[in-house]
Amino acid sequence: MNRINKVFENKKEILSIYFTAGFPNLSDTSSIIENLDKSGVDMIEIGLPFSDPIADGPTIQQSSSTALKNGMTTKKLFSQLKDLRKLTNIPIIIMGYFNPIMQYGVEPFCKDCESIGIDGLIVPDLPVDIYYNNYKKTFEKYNLLNMFLITPQTSIERVKFIDKISNGFIYMISSFSITGAVNSFQKEQKEYFERINKMNLKSPLLIGFGISNRETYKDAIKFSQGAIIGSAFIKHLEKKGVNKITDFIKKIRK
């Protein structure tokens, strides 16, 4: 069984942390993973930096820009992750845009993901129909789960289709916007969470975009199996450094 599925079978109130590979420094990838593992997070999303990150807010955009300037590439990331499974046994997801994956080659990319122990992918700009018709078999050949995003504007029919073809979790975006930290969820967002929950989907849900503190994390886990934190964690990395990662996680889960 894929490590992602095992987490959802065995844990509640899941905390997944996103960071951009190559940020703050090119060589930080392994240290960040080790520190997140020690801090007790349930899942890690590694962002593959891209020059045109359409779904990302200013914090993650800036981290991507810095990472690219530092020299991060897909090949460099795979090289850094070659001993991944000596560092951690928790699920690892690569989140990246489709252009760099296509440039690398979809099948070689998936093959290299499997060889180093990556469990799944999140590709925000890969339409679900194109994935289903053209790439699903390739992802499954290399034991990679593909997680799809839904927003408050996603139609009921599309949500049901995503749920039908998913074999991992569904990434429930808290609002129709770019990523970024907020201090609390609004009434409209909570109504959206409730609406999706009433659909009784077979796939577990994680809420992302806007999870920044204890309050938003607790709100998210009322309506889903867990939450994803990105921008707030990257800000913490920038201000406090890799060695203070545990402090950030403790504040979320205290």
Active site residue 56: yes
CA atoms within 13 A on the CB side of 159: 23
Catalytic residue among 42, 56, 119, 163: 56
What are 207's two structure tokens? 């809420």
User: CB count, 10 Å around CB of 246?
Assistant: 13
Asked if 96 contacts 47 with a C-beta cutoff of 8 angstroms, the reply is: yes
**Burial level of 32, CB count in 10 A (0-12/13-18/19+)?**
buried
Catalytic residue among 45, 112, 119, 219: 45
Active site residue 45: yes
- Catalytically active residues, by annotation: 45, 56
